[in-house]
Amino acid sequence: MGLGFSLDPAVPMSEAVRRVASAEIDTAYAALASPPECHKGVHDSRKCLKRLRSLLVLIRPGLPEPVFLSLTERLRTIARRLAPARDAAALLDAVDKFAKAEGEGEATPIPALRAWLQERRQATKRSLDGSTASDAMRGLFALRPAMANLAVYPDDFSPIAKGLRESYRGGRKAFAQAFATGNDEDFHEWRKTLQHHWRHMQLLTPCWPSELSTRVEAARALSQILGDDHDITLLRQLVSAPTMTFAAPDDTAAFLKRCRAMHKALRREAETRGARLFAERSRPFVERIEAYWAAATQRAEKPAIVERTDNVVAFGEVGAGGRRAS
């Protein structure tokens, strides 16, 4: 049974990395190759691309820097081809979520904003039905050999520990920066570091599933709060743009006031959750995860005593799932 988006402590690190990278490339390609719904395929493919970028961030200290930069840019290029289609759909979801939370009426910008976004979504869907998906699929196909041949040096946990320390430290700094300035862009940057963090925890979950899966869910939930905050920022910018008119000035002002109130509530909740998630300093945090990984690796390598039906004790190697290797 596969581990999904997780590194296997029972195999050398480079092999574990290659398994994850190859699986994500294949999943992204399949999502675009035969999607029953165009935008679902785009969404699923983009999630794979984000996971791959997080994987590269984690293993960066174990890669030659030109390799990291080249692969990251190639992933970004593919993601940019798919971005307009997904962005329009995401903004429509944000409008519906806002309307559900705050109510919707004819005197608000919501109906006109939704109609405009629906038209934009249809336009991007027509574009995607043409060459966009095919271009992205060609990019994924060309990228697969490089992902299938990834190797980290040294071939152990040490480059992972360095990558985790850098990304976790970056998350703590981005958290502090966002609340120091209150800038929309700083909150968005914090969210991006947070997305890397929960994916890194997901990659490392096999070393202690019950412990790290809880952290994955906590970080993912916080990322969703910041995602809602970013969506409100985008809606606010659209409605207040000088070239766009979705409602009368007084109604637009009332809408923007509600946006500010939602920002305040979301960021208050994010601050509480962020303080818990990033309470630990980077060095002890990484040393703790490193110890979990070492214990999981030792367990995978340790010979196990296996009871046989003839009451003779046999020794065998234990695999990743605790089963005797054949």
pLDDT tens digits, one per residue of 120-145: 777 776 666 557 888 899 999 999 99
Query: pLDDT, tens digit, for every residue of 250-307?
Result: 888 888 888 899 999 999 999 999 999 999 999 999 999 999 999 999 987 765 555 5
Sequence-distant (≥ 6) Cβ neighbours of residue 265 within 8 angstroms: none
Least confident of 57-61, 97-101, 113-117: 97-101
At residue 106, does pLDDT exceed 60? Answer: no
Architecture of domain 13-295: Alpha solenoid (1.40)
Torsion of CA 132, 133, 139, 145, to 10 degrees: 180
pLDDT at residue 33, rounded to an integer: 86
Helix or strand holding residue 32 (H, E): helix 13-33
Q: 38 or 43, which is more confident?
A: 43
CB contact burial 130-145 (16+ within 10 A = b; e otherwise) = eebbeebbebbeebee
Rounded percentage of the chain residues whose pLDDT exceeds 90: 61
pLDDT at residue 167, rounded to an integer: 97
Q: What is the pTM of this model?
A: 0.86
What span, in angstroms and rounded, lies between the C-alpha atoms of 124 and 130?
10
At residue 322, does pLDDT exceed 60? Answer: no
What is the CA angle 28-33-37, rounded to 5? Answer: 95
Sequence-distant (≥ 6) Cβ neighbours of residue 309 within 8 angstroms: none
pLDDT at residue 129, rounded to an integer: 58
User: Region 43-56: what's the mean pLDDT?
Assistant: 95
What phi, psi does 108 have (nearest 5°)?
-105, 165
Sequence-distant (≥ 6) Cβ neighbours of residue 104 within 8 angstroms: 110, 111
What span, in angstroms and rounded, lies between the C-alpha atoms of 85 and 160?
34
Query: pLDDT, tens digit, for every residue of 169-199?
Result: 999 999 999 999 999 999 999 999 999 999 9
